[in-house]
A and B are shown apart, each in its own frame.
Chain A
Amino acid sequence: MQPGLYHILIISAALFFIGVFGFFTRRNLITMLMSIELILNSVNLNFIAFNKYVWPHKMDGLFFSLFVIAIAAAEAAVAIAIIINLYRSHQSIDVEDAGEMKY
C-alpha cells in the first residue's frame, strides 16, 4: 500500500507533539535542543508532503525544507555554543540552574 498524505501528516503531527512534549518536560538543555530538531523536522515533513501531493509540479516545498535544514544547522551551532558557555560558568546544563535573568 502506498502511503497517502494523511499518513505522513499524522507522522509529522506526532513528531511535532513529541518535540513539544520533550521541550517542555526535559531539563537537560541538549535534550531540549534535540526536541527542537524534532519540531523542525516535522515541519520539513509537512513541506515535502504537501509539495508532493498537492502541487507536484512545483519545488517551493523542497526549497523551504532546504532552508529549514540550513537554519537548523546554524541554530544547533549557536545553541551548542551557548550551552558550552553555560556549562563553563554554571558547571551544569540544567535549565533550572540558569534562572538569573528573571525579575
Chain B
Amino acid sequence: MMNPVYIALIPLLPLAGFLMLGLFGRKFFKETSGIIATLLLLTAFGLSVYVAYDYFTHANGGVYPKTIAFQYTWLRFTDTLSIDMGALIDPISVMMLLVVTFVSLMVHIYSLAYVKGEERFATYYAYLMLFTFSMLGLVLSSNLFQIYIFWELVGLSSFLLIGFYYNKPSAVAACKKAFIVTRFADLGFLIGILILSFYSGTLDFATLINTLTTPESAAMKNAVTASFLGVSAISWGMALVFIGGAGKSAMFPLHIWLPDAMEGPTPVSALIHAATMVVAGVFLVARLFPVFALTTPAVLEIVGWVGAFSAIFAAMIACTQTDIKRVLAYSTMSQIGFMLFALGVSKYGGENGLGFTASMFHLFTHAMFKALLFLGAGAVIHYVHSNEMKDMGGLRKLLPITHITFLIACLAIAGVPPFAGFFSKEEILLAAFNGNKTIYYVALLTSGLTAFYMFRLYFNIFWSKEPATQHDKHHGEGGFAMMMPLVLLAIGAAAAGFIPFGNFVSSDGAKLESHFHLAFSAAPVLIGLSGILLAFVMYKKQSNKATNLANSLGGIYKTVYHKFYIDELYLFITKKILFNLIGRPAAWFDKNVVDGLVNATGNATTMISAKIKGMQSGRVQQYAAYFFAGVFGLVLIFLYIWK
C-alpha cells in the first residue's frame, strides 16, 4: 500500500503555496511567485502520477479497492456521526487528482506569460494555489461534510479569481453573480446532506453508500417510508444534493453565472470554468452513484433529463454568441450536460454501467481539449486584445502554433476520429442508445450543433477575412511559457482517447471492456462532419450567408441570441417579484416596526430623564438629604420588616 504521506502532500503543497504567497507574496516574492507556485504544483503533479501508477497497478483481483488513505476525526457528535478530514482513494478520485494537477500545472505555466507584469501577480498565484488545494481536497474527500467544506472553498476561490480585475465593474458583477447563484444551489446541497446524514446516521461515504443501498437496513426503511409531498425522504435528499451539483456544474436553470464568469482572466476560465470546478457536480453524482442508481433511479432520471436539456440548450446558444469566451462557456455547459446525462442513463455494475465509465471518460478528455480551447482563446485574446469575433480573422499565419492546437481541440470536441472526444462521446452515445432513446436523439443533434459552433468559432478566428493590420506584432504568440501548455494539452486532446478507460474507471470498480462498434459510430461522426461542413460553407470566407440565415430565422434567432431571455427572466423574478412582494414589505416592517421599537426605547428614555433630571440639582445639601433619607429608610426596613 502506498504511503499516505504522498497523498496528503498532494493537496497540502498548494495549501503551503497559498499561505506563503498569500501572506508574504506581495513583499518578498513579487517576481518569483509564479516560479514557486509552478514548482510546487509540478511536485504535486509528480506525486499524483506516482499515486495513480501505484494505484492502478495494484488491482485486487480485477477490482480496484476503495481505500481510506488517512482519516482524522475532527468533530465527533456521536459514536458513528463525526466530521472527519480524510482522503478516499478510488478510481475516480485518482483520475481527478491527475486531471486537476495536470490542468492546473498547465495553467500555472501559461499564466507565467499571460499575467506577467500584473500588479497583483503574487496574489493571482496565491488564489490559483488556493483553488488547486480546494479542488484536490474536494476530490479526495472521504465524507459528505468534508466535500461540502471544499465545495464552498472552490466556490470562494472561483469568486476571487473571477473578480480578479476588481476595478472592472463587469468583473465585480460577474463574481457576485457566480457566488450568489452557486451559493443558492449549495443551500440545497446542505439540506440534502442533512437529510442523508439524518437517515443514515453517518457522513462517511463508504458507510453512507452501504447503508443507503441495503434495502434491509433500518435506516433505509425509514428513509424510504418517510415522505414529504408524496416523495420519499431519500429521494428528496438525493435531489437536493443534485441541486448543489447542478449549481456548481452550471446546469439549466442555474447556468446563468457561467457565461458571466468569463470576465476572469482566461487561464482561470480554462482551469476553473472549463476543466475542473464545473465538473464538481458530475463528480458529486459519480461519488454517490450507487445510491442514485440503486435506491433512487427516479432522481437519476431527472439528472439525465437536466443534463440532456442543458446540453442542447447551451449548444443552441453557443451557435449565436460572438464573444469567443462565451461560446466556449456555453460549450462547456453543453459538454457537462453530456457527462450528466451519461450518468443519468447509466445503471450500476457490469455492462450496464457503461454510462458511468463514459461520463468519467468524457470528463477526462473534456478537461484536456476544453482547457486547450480556453488557453488557445487566451493566446488569441492576448494577441488581438479583444474577445469579439469581428476583431479576429485570418490569424492562422500569425499564430501558427495556436492555430494547429486549436484545430486539434476543435476536432476533438466535434468528435472526429481519432481525437479524444470521439471515443468518449461515442461511448456516451452508446450508453444513451441503450438507456434512453429520446436522450440519444437529443445527444446526436447536440453533437452536430457542437461541431457546427466549434468550427464557426475556428473559421471566424483563423480564416474568414484577411488579418487586420493594426495588431502590433511585437509580442507574437506569447513565447515558450504560453505555447508549451498548448502543445502538451494538444497531445492529450489528440491521444487521450486511446486510453482503455473502462479498465480503470467503472461504476463498481471491476474492469469494463469497451467495445467499438463501427456501424454505431457512423451516425455521430457523419452528423459531426456535416456540422463542420456547414460551418465551412458559412464561415470559411467572409460572406453574408450567416447574416442572411439569421435574418430569415428572425424571432427564433433573436431569442437564442438573447440566451432564451433566461437572464431577463431571473431579473424579472428578482427585481419585480421578489423585491416588490417580499423586499418592500420587509423593508417597511424593518423601518416601521423594528426601527420603531428601537426609537420608542430611545424616546421613552429621553422623556423620563427630562422629568427626573432635576434631582441632580448641584446642591450638596440636597444630596445629603437624599442620602440621609435613604439611610433612614434602610433603618426602618431593618427595624420593622426584616427584623
Q: List residues of chain A with CB under 8 Å of any chain B CB.
A: 20, 23-24, 32, 95-96, 98-103
Contact = CB atoms under 8 A, between A and B. Distances in A.
A96 B621 CA distance: 9
A100 B618 contact: yes
Bin the interface of chain B by size: 10 to 19
Interface in B144-177: none
B620 interface: yes
A102 B625 contact: no
Contacts of A102: 616-619
Given A95-B619, A96-B619, A103 B613 contact: yes
A32 B418 CA distance: 111
A102 B616 CA distance: 5
A100 B624 CA distance: 17
B619 A99 contact: yes
Interface string B608-641: 0000011011111100110010000000000000
B181 to A, nearest CB: 58
A24 B619 contact: no
Contacts of B628: 20
A24 B625 contact: yes
15 contacts: A20-B628, A23-B624, A24-B621, A32-B620, A32-B621, A95-B619, A95-B621, A98-B618, A99-B617, A100-B618, A102-B616, A102-B617, A102-B618, A103-B614, A103-B618
Nearest to A26: B621
A99 B618 contact: yes
Contacts of A100: 618
A103 B617 CA distance: 7
B616 A95 contact: no
The 6 closest A-B pairs by CB, nearest first: A102-B618, A99-B618, A103-B613, A103-B616, A101-B618, A102-B616
Contacts of A95: 619-621
Nearest to A24: B621
Contacts, number: 28
Contacts of A96: 619
A46 B638 CA distance: 20
Contacts of B617: 99, 102-103
A85 to B, nearest CB: 15
Nearest to B621: A24
A100 B616 CA distance: 11
Contacts of B624: 23-24
Given A99-B617, A103-B617, 13 more contacts: A20-B628, A23-B621, A23-B624, A95-B620, A98-B618, A98-B620, A99-B618, A99-B619, A100-B618, A101-B618, A102-B616, A103-B613, A103-B614
A29 B295 CA distance: 94
Contacts of A23: 621, 624
Contacts of B621: 23-24, 32, 95
Contacts of A24: 621, 624-625
Contacts of A20: 628
A97 to B, nearest CB: 11
A23 to B, nearest CB: 6
A69 B174 CA distance: 81
A23 B620 CA distance: 10
Contacts of B613: 103
Residue picked from A24, A95, A103, most chain B C-beta under 10 Å: A103
B120 to A, nearest CB: 57
B622 to A, nearest CB: 9
Contacts of A98: 618, 620
A102 B620 CA distance: 10
B18 to A, nearest CB: 59
Interface string B119-150: 00000000000000000000000000000000
Nearest to B628: A20
Nearest to B624: A23
Contacts of B619: 95-96, 99, 102
A97 B105 CA distance: 85
Interface in B224-263: none
A39 to B, nearest CB: 11
Interface string B266-290: 0000000000000000000000000
Nearest to B615: A103
Nearest to B618: A102
Interface string B551-587: 0000000000000000000000000000000000000
B597 to A, nearest CB: 28
A82 to B, nearest CB: 11
A29 to B, nearest CB: 9
Contacts of A101: 618
B615 to A, nearest CB: 8
B446 to A, nearest CB: 81
A32 B620 CA distance: 10
Nearest to A36: B624
A32 B621 CA distance: 10
Contacts of B614: 103
A87 to B, nearest CB: 16
B276 to A, nearest CB: 69
A65 to B, nearest CB: 21
Interface string B379-422: 00000000000000000000000000000000000000000000
Contacts of B625: 24
B454 to A, nearest CB: 82
Contacts of A99: 617-619
Contacts of B620: 32, 95, 98
A9 B620 CA distance: 29
A100 B618 CA distance: 6
Contacts of A103: 613-614, 616-618
A102 B614 CA distance: 9
A95 to B, nearest CB: 5
A32 B619 CA distance: 13
A96 B625 CA distance: 15
A19 B613 CA distance: 29
A98 to B, nearest CB: 8
Interface in B584-620: 613-614, 616-620
